[in-house]
Amino acid sequence: MGFDINKIREDFPILSRKVNGYPFVYLDNAATSQKPKIVIDSIVDYYSNYNSNIHRGVHSVSQEATDGYESARQTIQTHFNAKYSHEIIFTSGTTHSINLVANGFESLLNSGDEIIISGLEHHSNIVPWQMMCEKNGAIIKVIPMNENGELNLSVFEKLLCEKTKLVFVNHISNALGIINPVKKIIKKAHEFGAVVLIDGAQASSHFKTDLQDLDADFYTTSAHKLCGPTGVGMLYGKEKWLKKMPPYQGGGEMISTVTFEKTTYADLPHKFEAGTPNIAGVIGFGEAVNYLNKIGFDDIENHESSLLDYATKKLKTIPNIKIYGDSLNKTSVISFNIGEIHAYDIGSILDKFGIAVRTGQHCAQPIMDYYNISGTVRVSFSFYNTIEEIDHLYKSLLQAISMLS
């Protein structure tokens, strides 16, 4: 396709609208990405031309829907380089995926077993494990972070022991944009026989992840983070662990045989896909992955890196600005506060200039507690953002500061 930012922006209908009389500047990509027309059209096409339930019908339209759904699974398997297509489980998103694994390990752990999570986690990678531990008596240990938002790996290595059964770390911090050294973490955890889940929700839109090279036991992401629809996501799990885990939900599709005396379960991946799935969402997910690959992840990384570098240098000229997670090893997220001005007030004024940012704790309260703050302003860039939008952000921030000081 070639990286032509103007042509790329034409693919996204929402980017041409105005907000409060200004051109819409969308800098909330860590929360959700915008959707190209080709993804929107694929969903409309499914509902318009071959809407039918999958796997269960012998009629032609059902077969077409099944082919579209399973083709998306193969697309995602190829993109992430999973060994088998049945290691790709479709879920409603990363939160659903993590809860599925937590439910599966509830019966596989014993009281006193230890699990390790990082201090940079989204609530979705904290709360499910706390709920699991309340039921089976496992114990949570935490890898601490430092002032730059980086994990203290020396402490992590000391936490690892024969009691460590599970390790859970996000690939990229949603609140700070820090890229964690997950390959090193996985290798160290495996030396103690621990199972590793990587929350890839924030990573999958910025670069390609080779799951066989990474060697994670589980990896999760949400389609809406990488230009796909909401309400659908992926859980990758190594075949051996997916076979050991019990089903998360019971119902149609996930069964082999059902009698009133006993039920046997279907093979992977259907064992974990009970009921009618989000067929249109999965098809849109596959289309989004194809779209991003046509643009090219090398070009995406290079453009977003340029945006991050330009914006960071520009924002650092603002008096009293404090950037959290000011590390070299990060992706296109800048989380900041300005003096004593409340983040919500800054976000509200930026909205008046047509700029969408995120304010608050970003579902990462432990990070905010570490810095002893109530929240931050977070700007997060995607490959369809521009230098001109950053200039508009900068000028608008100066005006917001003058109004709030």
Which conformational region is residue 137 in: left (phi greater than 0), alpha (psi within -120 to 50 degrees), or beta? left
Q: Is 64's pLDDT higher than 80?
A: yes
Percent of the residues in the chain that have a pLDDT greater than 70, as a whole number: 100
The alpha-helical segments, DSSP class H, found in 112-162 are 127-136, 153-159
Percent of the chain with pLDDT over 90: 92
Region 85-113: mean pLDDT is 96
What's the confidence (pLDDT) of residue 219?
98
Say whether pLDDT at 309 is over 90: yes
Averaged over 181-202, what is the pLDDT? Answer: 98
How many angstroms separate the CA atoms of 182 and 172, rounded?
9
Q: What is the pLDDT of residue 255?
A: 82
pLDDT tens sequence across 2-13: 689 999 999 999
Is residue 1 scored above 80 in pLDDT? Answer: no
pLDDT digits (tens, 9 = 90+) for 321-359: 999 998 989 999 999 999 999 999 999 999 999 999 999
Q: Looking at residue 156, what is its pLDDT?
A: 98
Q: DSSP of 3-33, one letter per residue?
A: --HHHHHHT-GGGG-EETTEE-EE-BTTT--
* Domains of the chain and any CATH numbers: 5-30+296-404 (3.90.1150.10), 40-293 (3.40.640.10)
Sign of the CA dihedral running 32, 377, 297, 216: negative
Does 126 score more than 60 pLDDT?
yes
State pLDDT tens for residues 12-61: 999 999 999 999 999 999 999 999 999 999 999 999 999 999 997 889 99
pLDDT of the residue at 58: 87
CA–CA distance, 177 with 255 (Å, rounded to integer): 41
Q: What is the pLDDT of residues 201-217, one digit of tens each?
A: 999 999 999 999 999 99
Instruction: Please give the pLDDT value at position 3.
Output: 86
Instruction: Tell me how far apart the terminal alpha carbons of the chain are, to the nearest angstrom.
Output: 47
Q: What is the mean pLDDT of residues 369-386?
A: 98
pTM of the model: 0.95
The pLDDT tens digits for 130-140 are 999 999 999 99
- pLDDT of 263 > 70? The answer is yes
Cα(322)–Cα(319) distance, integer angstroms: 9
Q: In the predicted model, what is the mean pLDDT of residues 380-384?
A: 98
| pLDDT value for 2 | 60
pLDDT at 308 over 70: yes
Among 149, 98, 79, 219, smallest CA distance to 370 is for 149
Instruction: List beta partners, residue 325.
Output: none
Q: Which residues are tagged catalytic?
A: 363
pLDDT of 44 reads: 98
pLDDT at site 230: 98
